[in-house]
Amino acid sequence: MTLYPLALLPQVTITDGLAQLPFVPGTEPEYGTPEKAIAAWVEQGASWVHVVDNDPGETNYASIARATGAHVQLASGIANQEALRTAMAAKPSRIVIEPTDLQWTQNALGAHGDLLAVGLDIRRPDVFDIRATLDEAGCRRYLITDIATHHHWRHEDRHLLKEFCDQTHAKVVANGGIKHLDDLHELHELVPDGLDGIILNEPLYDGSFMYAEAVAAGADRFDMFFWGPPQP
């Protein structure tokens, strides 16, 4: 059996200091501290979580990592130096930046490339030109979303995602777009092309499937622990 490195990252969204806790059948949605939410996903087997922080600067992810063992990939609309400084002060394992200002993005990658991933919309008309520029700037990881159909990766979108993976040596994470376990099966086919992560959001919170079921869906195709901690 050949194992490929593909991580499944539960999304944790923080608003007003609270985050939704994992779905429990037969109960109403519950909320808790960011640490409690992240710890709950670690208990279910996640080694990385994707955090959308709507309260930037108020959570220290290094302390959460020490308490839970989780690695945090942080996103909060980070598109300028001030926002990046705030995110870095929170000490996550990885930060997702937005290339609104391409020159700033290139400079940030040059200074902090090992720490950063770049978020891109696969439907952006110039996405492949931007990829070429950011590859040259040293981008090591992209987080790819189809903004227009964020809740589902359509066939043509998966084709674009494959093309993107084929054209870069950087790692690629698919952001959302998963509604059913079959969607996971289809994205697993892109692992040999360079896909190494999928962010899971709504299905984990509305009971469509559990995290363990998502892991089992690709158990013969990937090693969820291969991603591991950030490398120096």
The boundaries of the domain holding residue 173 are 7-217
Residue 135 lies in a domain: yes
| Residue 131 to residue 140: CA distance in whole angstroms | 11
Specify whether the CB–CB gap between 146 and 199 falls below 8 A. Answer: no
We report the CATH number of the domain holding residue 17 as 3.20.20.70
Burial class (CB in 10 A: 0-12, 13-18, 19+), 120: buried
Determine the distance from the C-alpha atom of residue 114 to the mean position of all C-alpha atoms in its chain, rounded to a whole number: 15
pLDDT digits (tens, 9 = 90+) for 149-201: 555 556 567 888 999 999 999 999 999 778 888 888 888 889 899 999 999 99
Whole-model pTM over 0.85: yes
Residue 225 lies in a domain: no
Mean pLDDT, to the nearest integer, of 40-57?
96
Mean pLDDT, to the nearest integer, of 210-227?
68
Residue 51 lies in a domain: yes
Question: Bigger pLDDT: 26 or 152?
Answer: 26
| Residue 14 to residue 55: CA distance in whole angstroms | 7
Residue 222 lies in a domain: no
Segment (H or E) for 120: strand 116-121
Residue 231 lies in a domain: no
Tokens found for residue 75: 């996103």
Q: Which percentage of the chain shows pLDDT scores above 70?
A: 87
pLDDT digits (tens, 9 = 90+) for 85-141: 999 999 999 999 999 999 999 999 999 999 999 999 998 899 999 999 999 999 999
Instruction: Tell which residue, 28, 27, 32, 29, has the closest CA to residue 15.
Output: 32
| Residue 50 to residue 42: CA distance in whole angstroms | 12
Residue 74 lies in a domain: yes
Instruction: Tell which residue, 31, 72, 34, 79, has the closest CA to residue 55.
Output: 34
pLDDT at 225 over 50: no
| Residue 140 to residue 171: CA distance in whole angstroms | 6
Question: How many degrees, rounded to 5, is the angle at CA 181 between CA 68 and CA 24?
Answer: 50
Residue 181 lies in a domain: yes
**Total number of domains in the chain:** 1
Residue 122 lies in a domain: yes
| Percentages (nearest 5) of helix, strand, coil residues in the chain | 40, 25, 35
